[in-house]
Amino acid sequence: MKHNGHVLTLLAMLLLLGAIPSAHGQAPPPQSGAAEPQPGGVADDPIRRLNLTPEQREQIRSIREQTKAERAALNQQFREANRALDTLLDTETPNEAEVEQRVREVAAAQSAALRARILTEIRIRRVLTLEQRTLLRTLQRQARELRRERLEDNSEVRQQRQADRANGLQNPRPIPRRRF
């Protein structure tokens, strides 16, 4: 299924915050301002750049644990609804009324999963300071731009490979990706 950019941004944020290591037994992140990223360095880690306190880490972990089962169940319902629709569409002559019902089920399951992700994000954002929320928005914007660039690069690669095939090249040469 095709996701819009907003859903991907929310998912990226949740994945970003889901990568938080346990606060127990670990030194707290540096409390300096947001450092400029250095390739391969600690400043590359978006979690460290947020400078979460151990209490914030624990609160976020708790929120994720509280919603984990519900999110898993909703995602499973969404996958099952999609599978049921795909199965119906694979039949020789799908009944349009049944297809419409399956589409409604997929939409309802997707909506419920999206609602749960958004509510979880809201709860997590309440834990962050204003400065951390601002930095998080900046990191999300950068992630969106990077995804957009990668999609554009992939599109250019596909177009080049199609042109190579059209010109009779059997094994089109790999096109190098831009490195940032």
For the chain, domain boundaries: 48-128, 130-168+175-180
pLDDT digits (tens, 9 = 90+) for 13-32: 545 555 444 433 344 444 44
Q: Has residue 139 got a pLDDT over 80?
A: yes
Name residues whose C-beta falls within 8 Å of residue 67's C-beta, 6 or more positions apart in sequence. Answer: 116, 119, 120, 123
Q: How many CA atoms lie within 13 A of 28 on its CB side?
A: 11
Measured between alpha carbons, how far is 133 from 137 in angstroms, rounded to an integer? 6
CA angle 35, 36, 39 (to 5 degrees): 120
Main-chain dihedrals φ then ψ at residue 50, nearest 5 degrees? -75, -15
Structure tokens at 72: 């898993």
Report pLDDT digits (tens) over 42-54: 456 777 899 999 9
For 54, the token pair is 């151990």
Q: What is the pLDDT of residues 70-117, one digit of tens each?
A: 999 999 999 999 999 999 999 999 999 999 999 999 999 999 999 999
Q: How far apart are CA 156 and CA 76, in angstroms?
A: 35
Under 8 Å between Cβ of 44 and 37: yes
178 CB burial (10 A radius; 0-12, 13-18, 19+): exposed
Instruction: Give me the pLDDT at residue 99, please.
Output: 95
Classified by CATH at the fold level, domain 48-128 comes out as Four Helix Bundle (Hemerythrin (Met), subunit A) (1.20.120)
